[in-house]
Amino acid sequence: MKFFLTTIIFTLCALLSFSTAAPISAELLKRDVFVPPVISPGKGTVWKVGTEQTVKWNVTNPPKQITNNKGEIILSNNGVLDFANPLAEGFNILLGEIKVTVPNVASGHKYQIIVFGDSGNNGSYFTITQ
Ligand SMILES: *[C@@H]1O[C@H](CO)[C@@H](O)[C@H](O)[C@H]1NC(C)=O
Ligand SMILES: *[C@@H]1O[C@H](CO)[C@@H](O)[C@H](O)[C@H]1NC(C)=O
């Protein structure tokens, strides 16, 4: 009986410390990881190769503390992220928009913009034409 009670107390203690610890780490995650939603290019947007275009993302609710404030914009071509040729990099993620030059890529593919801050966020599918 004594052993049984000890076990219950141990279990309660473990549960209590777990439940007090969990919200703290979730809160830390919420504060540190900034995942800016891509606003533009939106669905139905058409970009022409070689033109200058503006990528916009939502910076309305940034966390107070951002672990990485350097942004990077990557083009996803038919679902393949072209990390070797970022459209923009090293800018402040809190800018909210930046001009990029449309790279010479094939027409007829499905393109998406991914804005990376602490982690990436993909925008809508849009079109690039030659
Ligand atoms: C940006 O995000 C906020 C909430 O975080 C939302 O209220 C607002 O409508 C968004 N703006 C755009 C242009 O999507
Ligand atoms: C963005 O990526 C997520 C996860 O891969 C996916 O569920 C979502 O449909 C994508 N959004 C668009 C607009 O493609």
Q: What is the pLDDT of residues 29-63, one digit of tens each?
A: 444 566 778 999 999 999 999 999 999 999 887 77
Relative to the CA of 43, which ligand 2 atom is closest? Answer: 13
Mean of all residue pLDDT scores within the chain: 80
**How much distance in Å is there from the Cα of 77 to the middle of ligand 2?**
14
CA distance 91 to 58: 15
CA dihedral 20→61→122→32, nearest 10 degrees, is -40
Answer whether 121 contacts ligand 2 (Cβ < 6 A): no
Answer whether 124 contacts ligand 1 (Cβ < 6 A): no
> Whose C-alpha lies nearest to ligand 2, atom 14?
124
- Label residue 113 exposed, middle or buried (CB < 10 Å: 0-12, 13-18, 19+): buried
Res. 65 pLDDT band, cuts 50 70 90: confident
> Does the domain spanning 29-129 belong to CATH 2.170.150.70?
no
Task: Please tell me whether the overall predicted TM-score, pTM, comes out greater than 0.75 for this model.
Answer: no
Answer whether 58 contacts ligand 1 (Cβ < 6 A): yes
